[in-house]
Amino acid sequence: MRIRIIYQKTLPLRFTSALDMQLIWERSLRRSSLHITYSQGFHPKPKIQLGLPLPLGFMSDEEIVDIWIEDKVSADQLLELIQPNLPIGLTISSIEEIDFSQKPVVTRITTAEYVVKFWDQDVNRDALQTKINSLLLSEKIIRTKRNKKQYDLRPLIKSVRLLPDLEIVDGFALFIALCSEQNRMGRADEVMFALDFSLEEFLIKRTKTY
């Protein structure tokens, strides 16, 4: 079977890397007594395919992983077997069997949506709206990657707007939609840096990928 798991990654695993997530799924399935399919060749690897990698420090309501297993089990049984063996911070939303011929999940994702919570409840709404307007009117937003290579963030931004009356923050939060294709991937934290916020001032949750 090839199964697709939609899951939430919450605060306890906020600083778990994509590589570690791969290992967590591998170990959790083994503890569930499920048999993972391995690749062929001299160095067989478990066939576990994460969707869009989540940047370190982010949380998510909708992460995707495709896993190939040798067993034939119903979705309900898989949920009963796997969920108790996952660490705190990972919660399965759904499991479905998908066709082997489907393309890798990462190639199907074009957009990611994020909600930003501010640690400082005294963030000025009007001042932030002015910053957002200025950002969206910019022809270019030049940012520098870790390898010192510069790129233009502006074409990767699909939407930035304030969200009023959300439960996760007193008063308002920020919604960001970004291009998330394989070679054109925007980062929500880079948008926040372009709005003149420091890393200590906000918490980002990815709410949807499609």
Residue 185 near residue 110 (C-beta atoms within 8 A): no
Q: Which residue has the higher pLDDT, 108 or 152?
A: 152
Residue 86 and residue 107: Cα distance in Å, rounded?
26
Question: How many of the other CB atoms lie within 10 Å of CB of 32?
Answer: 19
Residue with the bigger pLDDT between 32 and 147: it is 32
Which range (3-12, 69-78, 113-122, 176-185) has the least confidence? Answer: 113-122
CATH topology of domain 109-209: Pseudouridine synthase (3.30.2350)
Mean pLDDT over all residues of the chain?
93
| pLDDT-derived band at 171, boundaries 50, 70, 90 | low
pLDDT at 145: 85
Share of the chain above pLDDT 90, in %: 82
What pLDDT was estimated at residue 123?
Answer: 84
| Domain range annotation of the chain | 2-105, 109-209
CATH number, domain 2-105: 3.30.70.580
What separation in angstroms does the CA of 70 have from each of 47, 49, 74, 79, 169? Answer: 11, 16, 13, 16, 44
pLDDT at 165: 63
State how far Cα 15 lies from the chain centre: 12
| pLDDT greater than 90 at residue 176 | yes
Q: Please name the residues in contact with 16: beta carbons below 8 A apart, sequence gap of 6 or more.
A: 9, 24, 56, 89
Of the listed ranges 4-8, 63-67, 100-104, the one predicted with least confidence: 100-104
The predicted-structure confidence for 73-82, as pLDDT tens digits, reads as follows 999 999 999 9
pLDDT at 166: 57
Asked if residue 42 has pLDDT above 70, the reply is yes
Those residues whose C-beta lies under 8 Å from the C-beta of residue 153, and which sit 6 or more positions away, are 141, 142, 143, 186, 190, 191, 194
Instruction: Report the pLDDT averaged over residues 105-126.
Output: 89
Structure tokens at 175: 């919604």
What DSSP designation does 103 have? P
The percentage of the chain sitting over the pLDDT mark of 70, rounded to a whole number, equals 97
Calpha distance 76→96 (Å, rounded) = 9
User: Buried b vs exposed e over 190-201: b needs ≥16 C-beta within 10 Å?
Assistant: bbbbbbebeeee
Q: What is the model's pTM?
A: 0.90
Q: Express each pLDDT in 133-166 by its tens digit.
A: 999 999 999 999 877 899 999 999 999 999 876 5
Return the pLDDT at 72: 95
